[in-house]
Amino acid sequence: MDVLSHARDWLAQDPDPVTREELSGLIARAEGGDAAASADLASRFAGRLTFGTAGLRGELGAGPMRMNRVLVAQAAAGFAAYLSERATDGARPRVVIGYDGRRNSDVFARDSAEIFAGAGLTAILLPRLLPTPVLAFAVRHLGADAGVMVTASHNPPDDNGYKVYLGGADEGAQIVSPADREIAAHIQRVADEVRVPDLPRSDAYELAAEEVVEAYVAATAAVAPAPASAAGMRWAYTAMHGVGWETLERILARAGYPAPAVVAEQIAPDAAFPTVAFPNPEEPGAMDLAFATAAAHDAEFVLANDPDADRLAVGVPGPDGWRRLTGNEIGMLLGARAARSAEGTPGASLACSLVSSPGLGAIAERHGLDFHTTLTGFKWISRAPGIVFGFEEALGYLVNPETVRDKDGISAAVAVLGLAAEARGRGTTISGMLDELAAEIGHFASGQVSIRVDDISIIGRIMDALRQSPPSAFGGRAVTRAEDLLLPADGGPSGDILRYTLDDGSRVIVRPSGTEPKLKAYLDVRGDSPEDAAARLSALDAAVREALDRG
């Protein structure tokens, strides 16, 4: 089928007047010889967004390479077929659906609820826009077989996504292989065989009671009830135009923490994200308003959630102004907190992604706990045996695995508030706690080198070159162990990842980005002092850049 025919067929199925108008205009201009419109259509119909272990995610718009009501309807019908196929003894699968404040999130959620109900499933729609962790919690709390969260997390404003969780033995974690391939096959069958207007729909879905949200609030407030030292604590908070504040505010009242100075311009959900170019606390400038608010209120620290509140950033004041702590710094503070509580518990473990700081392993060893490294993503971290805490360097933390089997920026915020109050009671600060931890386990420092490319094949060529001629050294440090995780020798995590251990214990991990046209190198060093660690990291950074340029 040629592109124009494919586009006309898609248009005939589309229930959304906005994307219908968008696609109709493109078709008309392409038929009139407009080369730009023809190129745009070719891009939109070059394939379809791939359903994988992260579900679906992409730019909003018409066509199978965009997020829209046709694609979501096909995904919902395919997922319903997968759940029905897995059901035993004639059981009726239960699926809960949540959504955030992004454009079309509520529409995609209602479409999904109607299609699930039309397919004979018990569909439960959360009562309003809520954070992703509430949906992950609801899957377990309601005893559901599955969950769907409509969100693009911290992606650009024009994106949206469709994240899938499984209940039962998966305990409310995100899907992993082979479930992703099996669901994708059902979705493709629906797309090939059934037109969207012919999909059965029903408005007989349930609306979840407020009790679900209240149960999450109660469980999360219990993560770290406020000690007496929290009285008078001054802090600032931003929701980054997302959905975190309403839920967090209720938890603060329940747990007994003083209210923060909020970033007024960013506290309410706004799908346009007007004050940030990219709604991700890791991006340069994204926390500038939060730092200004903190300075104006003489705050002791800043907390920031991303738009769906599954990630947490922390800012602290310093001699050169405010700075955002790295994900590794927060992860090690929270890891040490969990390790102290779990010490002596048989089988208890800490876990992190393999590109996160090895400092968590040093913490686990110090407290006699098991330690696991996994592939990136909480779908893997959450499945670590005996997990009591897990994190990844991209600001994701799992602090309450008995409640939520996914990263949770709200429970992490409560845990950080508890640490800040504890520090305050001892006459120190969050920065002071980092110094104390470094004195115990050593001075770990991490960095990252990213190479963005226009031609994605360049990344493959660099990886091939590194495999064919493995580096024997980075700068003045010899490589003592080189591992290719495409074929891991020890049965550990596998992927398109190269890992090098150097003679001073430093580590370099090279892998393609899973979401952007980038090659990434993660650098980790351990020094005798902050200055020594910084010097080692600087030297390693220069050596890795040189090696990748040669590749």
Q: How far apart are the first and last CA of the chain?
A: 41
Residue with tokens 């082979």: 178
Cα–Cα distance between 326 and 224 in angstroms, integer?
22
Tell me the residue type at 474.
Answer: F
- Sign of torsion over alpha carbons 329, 330, 335, 336: positive
Q: 112 near 72, Cβ under 8 Å? A: yes
Using the CB atoms, write b or e for 61-70: b if 16+ within 10 Å.
Answer: bbbbbbbbbb
Cα–Cα distance between 302 and 322 in angstroms, integer?
9
Cα–Cα distance between 293 and 384 in angstroms, integer?
39
Side-chain half-sphere exposure of 370, counting CA atoms within 13 A: 12
Record the tokens describing residue 143, joined without a space.
């005893």
Cα–Cα distance between 399 and 408 in angstroms, integer?
8
Q: 504 near 477, Cβ under 8 Å? A: yes
The phi and psi torsions of 451 (rounded to 5 degrees) equal -115, 110
Give the Cβ contact number of residue 356 at 10 Å.
Answer: 29
Q: What is the largest CA-CA distance in the chain?
A: 73
Q: 356 near 327, Cβ under 8 Å? A: yes
Q: 506 near 523, Cβ under 8 Å? A: yes
Cα–Cα distance between 33 and 41 in angstroms, integer?
12
* Interacting residues of 388 by C-beta distance below 8 A, sequence separation 6+: 338, 339, 341, 342, 345, 348, 349, 350, 369, 401
Cα–Cα distance between 106 and 127 in angstroms, integer?
11
Q: 294 near 322, Cβ under 8 Å? A: yes
Q: 472 near 479, Cβ under 8 Å? A: yes
Q: 103 near 212, Cβ under 8 Å? A: no
Q: 324 near 334, Cβ under 8 Å? A: no
* Interacting residues of 496 by C-beta distance below 8 A, sequence separation 6+: 463, 485, 486, 511, 512
Q: Is 398 helix (H, G, I), strand (E, B) or coil?
A: strand
Record the tokens describing residue 270, joined without a space.
């706004």
Cα–Cα distance between 388 and 361 in angstroms, integer?
14
Q: Which DSSP category does 85 fall into?
A: H
- Active-site residues, by number, are 153
* Interacting residues of 366 by C-beta distance below 8 A, sequence separation 6+: 339, 440, 441
Length of the chain: 551
Side-chain half-sphere exposure of 433, counting CA atoms within 13 A: 25
